[in-house]
Amino acid sequence: MATTPELQDRPRVLVVGGGYVGLYVALKLQKKIANAGGIVTLVDPLPYMTYQPFLPEVAGGNIEARHAVVSHRKHLQQTELIQGRVTGIDHANRTAVVAPADGGAPFEVPYFDVVLAAGAITRTFPIKGLADKGIGLKTIEEAVALRNKVLERIEVASTMTDPAARAKALTFVVVGGGFAGIECITEMEDLARAAVRNNPRIKQEEVRFVLVEAMGRIMPEVTAKQAEWVVEHLRSRGIEVLLNTSLDSAEGTLKLINLPDKTPAQEFEADTLVWTAGVQANPMVRSTDFPVEPRGRVRVLPDLRIAGDEGIIDNAWAAGDVAAVPDLTGKGLPDGTCVPNAQHALRQAKRLAKNLWASRWDKPLKDYKHKNLGAVAGFGEWKGVANINLVGSIGLKGGLAWLAHRGYHGLAMPTFERKFRVIFNWILSFFAGRDTTQLMDLDNPRGAFVAAAAPAPKPAAAPAAPPAGAAGSAEKTKVDPKESVTANAK
């Protein structure tokens, strides 16, 4: 174990993860804990929190990538920040092992309270070629890469003459029919339409979008009638919707199968494969001594304290996607826990912070209980679907649903500064239009410099001069154009 870097020598609340839960817990506790003589320490490999509901709009070019993230350093100024990854927790001895983000040697961090807020990662399956060819939509980097790839493939295809290569470049496949998958494919399709309008060498009917969903319906968060409308809407835009269909292989060509009878469905080539078929709790929880339920989440009570078969584990808390939080409304998952979404994570974080602070003063804790407000989804400009549960259940579609989507997420975006940037971005796009400028070589930013710094190629050697006699003979054989014309006239 490496020497521990210089850390605050005060009673520590260790927050593992800087996403929705981690950011809000630190925001709500940092001043209180500091005034009481302690310190809040947040550990995350990234220096920012990503507002994931905005990732499809980043991929579609409607939101600037930097505006969809919240800087830890800017907004957690009374929090001790460590950029790294917690690789293990020994709660019996109140220590955590942290691996620095730069690859340095791990070190131990002591704590008094620990908050598990490590969130979720993309859930994949052992499909041949998926790891090599696919890309997720869980990080801001993936969203930016998707935007640039859509624009790059359209531009490259416009100069291709091989029909097969052109079709491959213009085929975009999204696997997963949940909110992330539907919003992703519709925003990408909107972006592609805008790019094609600016490129006379491409026709809209050449661009192919395919949605692959293993279930018999999409978007379980909305009503069955709304889900059917969404399928009709997608198909009206030329998007192929393949239900009861699974990706069997991504090695070479994409191979799809019909799930009911396990028969081959389609086989085609595509340069772009997006995987949005679910998430799973961060596997780091298995490197702790906390109780974990079958789905890989930490077991917690309604008051968000971690508890096992032997009872409550003191000074240990968890919330968000990494925790199996009981849904006291009875409207959650089949196992009785809360749906893993941003709506629950934000509210659980605030309740956890209040309960942790109350526990310091032996005050009663309150259970987390939140009635789902519904679901909103945007499908590109002035298109969307919403199911709002305020006074009864209100179903919306089209422009009103799109406005509800933007209104809710604009308000839910953490910090006033980030709200302002996002909303101003929307206003600017309304007047200036969607930005379809492709950013080149982000994966190789030093390419131009390396090429410029390389030794200049030596000039080609001049051809050897012919012997004097040969030169004289050559001069004699030259024909005066006037003489040639005269000869031809004769």
User: pLDDT for 374-418, tens place per residue?
Assistant: 889 999 999 999 988 876 678 899 999 999 999 999 999 999 999
Q: Kindly tell me if the per-residue pLDDT of 6 is higher than 70.
A: yes
Residue 465 located in a structural domain: no
More confident residue, 372 or 324: 324
Q: Residues 335-357: what's their mean pLDDT?
A: 94
Same domain, 172 and 215: yes
State which amino acid sits at residue 241.
Answer: V
Q: What is the pLDDT of residues 18-34, one digit of tens each?
A: 999 999 999 999 999 99
* Listed residue (26, 380, 45) closest to 209, CA to CA: 380
Same structural domain, 93 and 198: no
Using CA atoms, how far apart are residues 146 and 380, in angstroms rounded to an integer? 15
- Whether residue 445 is contained in a domain is answered as no
Query: Does residue 306 sit within a domain?
Result: yes
pLDDT tens digit sequence for 315-325: 999 999 999 99
How do residues 430-487 score in pLDDT, each as one tens digit?
898 888 988 888 888 999 999 999 998 887 777 776 666 554 444 444 445 444 444 4
Q: Are residues 151 and 235 in the same domain?
A: yes
278 has a pLDDT exceeding 90: no
Do 17 and 103 share a structural domain? yes
| 270 shares its domain with 301 | no
* One domain for residues 83 and 155: no
What is the pLDDT, as a whole number, of residue 283? 95
- Render 337-405 in DSSP notation, one character per residue: B---SHHHHHHHHHHHHHHHHHHHTTPPP--------EEEEE-STT-EEEEE-SSS-EEEETHHHHHHH
Backbone angles phi, psi at 244, to 5 degrees: 50, 35
Inside any domain, residue 450: no
Residues 291 and 305 in one domain: yes
Which phi and psi (to 5°) does residue 365 adopt? Answer: -100, 150
Residue 158 has what DSSP assignment? T
Domain boundary among 212, 244, 277: 277
* Residue pLDDT, tens place only, 235-276: 999 999 999 999 999 999 999 999 998 999 899 999 999 999
Asked whether the predicted pLDDT for residue 352 surpasses 50, the reply is yes
The pLDDT of residue 295 is above 90? yes
Domain count, the chain: 3
d(CA 309, CA 311): 6
- Euclidean distance between CA atoms 23 and 115, whole angstroms: 11
102 within some domain = yes
Q: What value does the mean pLDDT take over residues 195-207? A: 96
Mean pLDDT for the chain overall: 92
Q: Is there a domain that residue 58 lies in? A: yes
> Does residue 101 carry a pLDDT above 70?
yes
Contact present, 119 and 17 (Cβ < 8 Å): yes
154 shares a domain with 30: no
* Burial class, 110, CB count within 10 angstroms (exposed 0-12 / middle 13-18 / buried 19+): middle
Instruction: For residues 139 and 240, state if they share a domain.
Output: yes
Buried b (16+ CB within 10 A) or exposed e, 290-308: bbbeeebbbbbbebbbbbe
| Cβ-based neighbour number of residue 420 at 10 Å | 13
Residue 218 in this model has a pLDDT that exceeds 50:
yes
Asked which of 11-25, 65-79, 224-238, 446-460 is least confident by mean pLDDT, the reply is 446-460
Quick one: 382 and 249 in the same domain? no
Range of the domain at 350: 12-122+280-370
Same domain, 158 and 173: yes
Domain boundary residue among 342, 370, 398?
Answer: 370
Whether 455 is in a domain gets the answer: no
Final residue before a domain boundary, out of 277, 304, 331: 277
| Residue range 68-84: mean pLDDT, rounded | 97
Q: Are residues 264 and 145 in the same domain?
A: yes
Predicted TM-score (pTM) of this structure: 0.89
| CATH number, domain containing residue 346 | 3.50.50.60
pLDDT recorded at residue 235:
97
CATH number at residue 231: 3.50.50.100
How many Cβ atoms from other residues are within 10 Å of residue 430's Cβ?
A: 10
Could you tell me if residue 486 is inside a domain? Answer: no
What pLDDT is stored for residue 475 in this prediction?
A: 47
